[in-house]
Structure formats: structure tokens, C-alpha cells
Amino acid sequence: MGEVIPFLIVLAVFAGMAFVINYNKFMKYRNRAEASWSHIDAALKRRFNLIPNLVRIVAQYQKHEAEVYEKTAQRFNPQARDRRERSLEESTLSRTLGSMLAVAEEYPELKSSGNFLALQESVSETEKDIMLARNRFNDNVASYNTLIDAFPSNLIARLFGFDKMEYFTLELATQREVPEIKA
């Protein structure tokens, strides 16, 4: 009986340490995901701030489509919302932005405009930033969600109400469907 008590004490200490370590992992991965979300948010806002200048330049060359783009941009509000809703709105904005940039192909004088080219480059760089931030966020979410699924940390997740996070998907303006080639 005298040998059982020290064994139980050691077991309790190890169980307590495992509990604290796993709980701290949840906090670390959740904080990493939230921090990486702020990078996505900043890049999306930066892109949104470029749109009025782009609309103004395109409006000089193509009145009708510029009005459509302007209405789309005015409808969009980059304030914090549910990530799923934000993903859908950002995807729509990305497609609109992509079609707006494609206007340059139809208007050689627009394509040669220094202001348009500078804005186009800024949008392209911002799209790359969004992609990198999205990848970082989704990697952090994957780590967090894996911790929720793995044993024994899943017990801690249930005990403290850690819920899975959703990935952030965004159809960027540079992403296109692969054309079907018929033989």
C-alpha cells in the first residue's frame, strides 16, 4: 500500500502537466489563427481601398461597366463579420476586380495609362499578400483543428468548449477555371 501512494502522486502530477500543456497548445494555436486572420483582414482592406481609384480610372474609358463596379464596391463593407459571409463577399469582389482589370485588354489607351498600370501592380501585390495570409491562416486553423480531433487533447477541447474553426477560402481574381479541351 505504501508503494501505491507515491505512484498515484506521480501519476497525478504527470496528468496535471499533460492537461496544462495541452490547454496551452489550444491557446497557442487559437491565438496564431486569430493573428493570421488579422493579416488577411488588413490585406483585404488594403485591396478594398485601391478599388475607388481603379473605378475612377476605368470610368474614363468605359462608363457603363464602371458604374456596375462602383455599385459593387459601394455595397461591400469590409467591417468584421462572420468569416463565411466575408469569404463569399470577398470572392464576389475578387471576380469583379478581375473583370475590371481585364477591361485594359479592350482599351489600349487604358492599358498604357501610368496610373492604371501602377494601380494594377498594387492590386496584384495585394492579391499575393492575401493569398499568403490566407495560406498562413489555414495552416494555423489546420493545426488547431487537428488538436481538437487528437486524443487526449480532444477531451480538453470538449471540457473547455474549444470549437473547430473554418478555413478561409477565397476565389482570387487570378484563379481561373481550367478550360475544357475537346478532342
How confident is the model over 60-71, as pLDDT tens digits? Answer: 766 656 666 666
- At 123 the pLDDT is 84
Q: What is the mean pLDDT of residues 94-103?
A: 73
- At residue 141, does pLDDT exceed 90? yes
Give the cell for residue 101: 482589370
Confidence of residue 178 (pLDDT cuts 50, 70, 90): very low
143 vs 85 pLDDT, higher one = 143
Q: Which of 104, 97, 69 is nearest to 171 (CA)?
A: 97
Higher pLDDT, 84 or 81: 84
Domain 4-160: which topology?
de novo design (two linked rop proteins) (1.20.1440)
Domain map (residue ranges) of the chain: 4-160
What is the C-alpha separation between 174 and 85, in angstroms, rounded?
21
Q: 57, 135 in Cβ contact below 8 A?
A: no
CB count within 10 Å of CB 15 equals 11
Q: In this predicted structure, what is the pLDDT of residue 127? A: 86
